[in-house]
Amino acid sequence: MKRLFGALALLFLAPILARSLNPSLNDDVLGLIVFKADIQDPEGRLVSWNEEDDSPCNLNGVKCNPRSNRVFDGFSLSGKIGRGLLQLHFLRKLSLAKNNLTGSISLSLAQLTNLRVIDLSENSLSGTVPDDFFTQCGSLRSISLANNKFSGQISENLSSCPTLASVNFSSNQFSGLLPSGIWSSHGLRSLDLFDSLLEGEMPKGLEGSNNLRTINLRKNQFTGQIPDGIGGFLLLRSVDLSENLLSGSLPNTMQKLKLCNDLNLRKNSFMGEVPQWIGEMRSLETLDLSENSFSGQFPNSIGKLKSLKVLNISMNAFTGSLPESMINCENLLPLDASQNLLTGNVPS
């Protein structure tokens, strides 16, 4: 805590110092110097950074907008996040992936109004994401906090950021429910929440007007059925709900997902027959239904899936023989139908 206040004090001083020097560029230089003072730099990559520099643009690891000469892109540093970053009002892309950053993220990061991309993936950051982070998100398009130690709930406010297209919170320790309004984030194209401690039922979807292309909820503890609303996400290409505790049968609305290439439902508790409409999901290339409790005959509509390459139905309770129509799936690689109650051969 002490350290944090120290850094904050510097932050308030910096603008005053900056104004008394060169009013524009030195804001950025000072911000970077404050940032540097606050991090560890074992490889000495920032040694050459000097507060006497007129412009931040020649500093190692810093990219500037060629027109304004203001810092806007690309850091590749190691150490700890410092408050100095908050001086970089023109920063558009903050990329501090694959470092050893610790500590938490502050609300003020979201308040950098030009920031479009935050990539803090593969660090050791922890704590919660501040509740108001997404209500004050400026022009944020993409945020990756993947592979850190963030915890707590994912704020309901996530859907308050209209510009947000990509959220990658994979491999953290987020817990609790998915925000109930998550599907109303109309700009959201990609949601990756792989490998956390999320639970409860998935919120019901809204029909239509959703831009989601990719959803990955793999390796959490979601329960209940897949909501009917999933059929409203007409642009979905990849759906990975594997390694959860989902159950029931597949909602009929899923047949509307005509663009979906990849459907992974592995290792859940889905049951009942695989519906005939599966043949309507014409774009499917990968279908993994393994490790569930599906039963009955496998539907012969499978033959309509001309793009299908990978089919894994192992570890279910399918009976009867596999449909002859499967010979129409010309791209199908050897399928895995092991550990079922099937008879006969794989049609070929």
Ligand X SMILES: *[C@@H]1O[C@H](CO)[C@@H](O)[C@H](O)[C@H]1NC(C)=O
Specify which residues 238 forms β-bridges with.
Answer: 214, 262
Tell me which of 170, 185, 268, 286 binds ligand X, using CB under 6 A.
Answer: 170
Cβ(232)–Cβ(210) below 8 Å: yes
Among the listed ranges 8-16, 81-89, 153-161, 203-211, the one in contact with ligand X (CB under 6 A) is: 153-161
Report the relative pairing of strands 190-192 and 269-272 from DSSP bridges. Answer: unpaired
- Candidates 68-76, 247-255, 270-278, 308-316: pick the segment binding ligand X (CB under 6 A): 308-316
Q: Taking a C-beta distance cutoff of 8 angstroms, is the pair 337, 310 a contact?
A: no
Toward ligand X, which CB reaches closer, 90 or 169?
169
Residue closer to ligand X by CB (options 99, 106) is 99
User: Between 147 and 253, whose beta carbon lies closer to ligand X?
Assistant: 147
Rounded to whole angstroms, the Cα distance separating 137 from 158 reads 9
Instruction: List residues bridging with 127 in a β-sheet.
Output: 150
Site string for ligand X, 118-147 (x = CB under 6 A): ---xx--------xx--x--------x-xx
Q: Which positions from 212 to 251 touch ligand X by CB under 6 A, shown as an x/- string?
A: --x-------------------------------------
Separation in Å, CA 275 to CA 146, 237, 311, 330: 35, 20, 15, 21
Question: Which residues does 232 contact at the CB level (< 8 Å), separation at least 6?
Answer: 205, 206, 207, 208, 209, 210, 253, 256
Cα radius of gyration rounded to whole Å, the chain: 25
CB of 88 to ligand X, least distance (A): 22
Residue 262, interface with ligand X (CB under 6 A)? no
3 state SS of 98: coil
**293 near ligand X, judged by CB under 6 A:** no
Q: Does 336 bind ligand X (CB under 6 A)?
A: yes
Among 327, 329, 328, 346, residue whose Cα is nearest residue 337: 346
User: Mind giving me the DSSP string for 216-248?
Assistant: E--SSEEEEPPPGGGGG-TT--EEE--SSEEEE
Task: Point out which span in 95-103, 107-115, 196-204, 250-258 binds ligand X (CB under 6 A).
Answer: 95-103
- 106 near ligand X (CB under 6 A): no
CB 242, min distance to ligand X, A: 8
- Return the DSSP state at 334: P
Question: 245 - beta bridge partners?
Answer: 223
Of 53-61, 85-93, 155-163, 243-251, the segment contacting ligand X by CB under 6 A is 155-163
Q: Closer to ligand X by CB, 11 or 332: give it.
A: 332
Q: How far is the CB of 315 from ligand X (least distance, A)?
A: 5
- Residue 302 one-letter amino acid: I
- Residues in the interface with ligand X (CB under 6 A) total 28
196 binds ligand X (CB under 6 A): no
Instruction: Identify the sign of the CA torsion 328, 325, 237, 129.
Output: negative
**Would you tell me which residues interact with ligand X (CB under 6 A)?**
78, 98-100, 121-122, 131-132, 135, 144, 146-147, 155-157, 160, 168, 170, 190, 192, 214, 266, 290-291, 312, 314-315, 336
